[in-house]
Amino acid sequence: MDFLTDSSIDDLLSKQKNFFASNQTKSISFRKNALQKLLKACLKYEKEILIALHKDLRKSSEEAFLTEFSFVVNEIKLHMKNLYKWSAPRRVSTPLVLMPSRSQIYYEPLGVSLVIAPWNYPFLLLFSPLIGVLSSGCCAVLKPSPDSKYTAEIMEKIIKETFDEGHIAIVHGEKKENQILFKKRFDHIFFTGGSELGKIVMRAAAEFLTPVTLELGGKSPCIVDESADLKVTAKRIAWSKTINAGQTCIAPDYVLVANDLKEQLMFHINEEWTKMYGGDVLGSEMYPKIIHQGHYNRLLGLIDSDKIKYGGDKNDETLQIAPTILDRVTLDDAVMKEEIFGPILPVIGIKSMEEANHIIQEFEKPLALYYFGNSNKAKNILNKTSSGGACINDAIMHIANPNLPFGGVGQSGHGAYHGHDSFLCFTHKKAVATTPTWIDLPFKYVPFKGFKWLKKFLT
C-alpha cells in the first residue's frame, strides 16, 4: 500500500471536486447503480474480507460475518430500497400569512467527504459510512486504519475495482499522512475513533468551517438492578463484553450492580464465558486477539492483579488477554480513569439506583448505557442520564437496528448515522419556498400597508 502525499491528495481532491461539480452523482439512477456495484463487489470478495479480519484481529468467520459483513450488505440493500423516497423533495406546511406559497425541503449532497475509520471493526466502520456517501450523492476519500492492514488491502482492491477515483478513492497513511489530510478542505469529515484524535479533527475542520460527524467512545456503564433476571443478564453482559475481545466502542465498560447480587453476577458472567469459549479461552478458535503490542501493553497496565476475581490469563505471543473480572474496584483505580476497550470488566457494588446515577455522572456522557431490571425503573435511569444510545435488558443490540440513529453525545461524539440517518448525515436539507406571481400581497413592502391588521394577525 502506498501512503498518500501532499501532491497526490491535491490531485485527488481536484478530480473529486470536478466530478461532483459535473452533477453526475445527483442522479438517483447513478447513486443506485453505485450501491449495486458496491454490493456486488462485497459479495464477490466475502471470503477474502473474512480472512483479512481474522488476520488482523483473529475474528472467527462467524463473528466477522455477523458483526461486520452482514451489517454492510443489509445496509446497502436498505438504501437501495428507500433511495427514491429519501431523495425526493419533502413538502412541509406553510403558514397562512405566506400563502399561497409552497414550502419544500430539498436533500442536497454535501460534496466531497473525508471518511476516517479505526481498526476495531475496519470493514464495517469504513464501508458503512461509505453507503451514506453513495446514497446521498457525495464523493469521498476513504482512509482506513494502518493497524488493520489486511482488511485495508482488500478494501482498497474493492474500491479500485468498483469506482473511479474521481468518485470514491481510498488512501493510506499514519500520523504524518493524517496531518496532510487535515490541512485540506473537504465539504464534510466523518471520523470514527478516539476522543483525542477527534479533537484534532475538530480543530482542523474549524479552519474551513467544515461540518464534522464524530463517532467516538467513552465509558459505557452497565447497571444491574435487584429486579434483573440474573442468568440472562450475565449471558448478555458476557457476550457483549467479549465480542472482538472487548475492542468495541459500545461494549459495557463497567458494571454497577446491587450489592446483594454482585457475587452471583460475577460468578454467572464467568460461567457464561466458559460456556462460550471452553475451559481454555485463549486456545479457542472463537476468541479474538488484541490488535497490536501497544494496546496489549496498555490493557495489561489496567489490570490490578490483587483485584482479579476471574480470568487474568494472557498470551504474549498471540496478544490475547482472557476475559477478566475485577472486584473491589474504586473510581480512583487506573481501569476507571479511561475507556477500557478490551476484555476487562470492573464490577462495582451499589446500594441504590441513586448511587448508580451519581457514579455515572462522575464521567463524561457515554456512547451507550445499559440497564438490566424492571423496565419501569429503567425510565427513571434514562431520564436522569445522558448517553448516545441505550438498551434495556440487553447490551450493544441497539446498533443492529438500522431504524435507530447511532451516535454519541458530548465527549462521545456528535452526529448520527445508520439507515436513513446515514443518508441524512451526508446531506444538506435545503429550504425552498416557491411563491406564485399571480398574486402579490402589499403588506410586506415598505411602507407596510395594513400593518395594524397584520400585527394583530401575527400575534
What whole-number distance in Å separates Cα of residue 194 and Cα of residue 130?
Answer: 20
Residue 371 near residue 236 (C-beta atoms within 8 A): no
Q: Are 413 and 250 a contacting pair, CB within 8 Å?
A: no
Q: Are strands 188-192 and 168-170 parallel, antiparallel or unpaired?
A: unpaired
Rounded CA-CA distance 219/244 in Å is 17
Mark whether 215 is an active-site residue.
yes
Q: Would you state the cell numbers that stand for residue 234, as one nine-digit string? A: 450475565
Q: Of the listed 138, 139, 249, 425, which one is catalytic?
A: 249
Let me know if 249 is a catalytic residue.
yes
Nearest Cα to Cα of residue 155 among 70, 216, 69: 69
Q: What is the DSSP string of 9-57?
A: HHHHHHHHHHHHHTTGGG-HHHHHHHHHHHHHHHHHTHHHHHHHHHHHH
Active-site option among 75, 215, 339, 364:
215
Given a contact cutoff of 8 angstroms between Cβ atoms, the answer to whether 372 and 416 are in contact is no
Cell 452497565 found at: 222
Contacts of the segment 90-96: beta carbons below 8 A, 24+ positions apart: 94/433
According to DSSP, the β-strands at 139-143 and 90-92 are: unpaired
Those residues whose C-beta lies under 8 Å from the C-beta of residue 149, and which sit 6 or more positions away, are 1, 56
What cell was used for 314?
A: 494472557
What dihedral do alpha carbons 160, 161, 166, 167 form, nearest 10°? -110
Cβ atoms of residues 320 and 289 within 8 Å: yes
User: Quick check: bond before 211 cis, omega within 30?
Assistant: no
Q: Which of 228, 237, 245, 229 is nearest to 272 (CA)?
A: 237
CA–CA dist 259, 132 (Å, integer): 45
Nearest to 143 by CA among 102, 104, 88, 186: 186
Known catalytic residues?
A: 215, 249
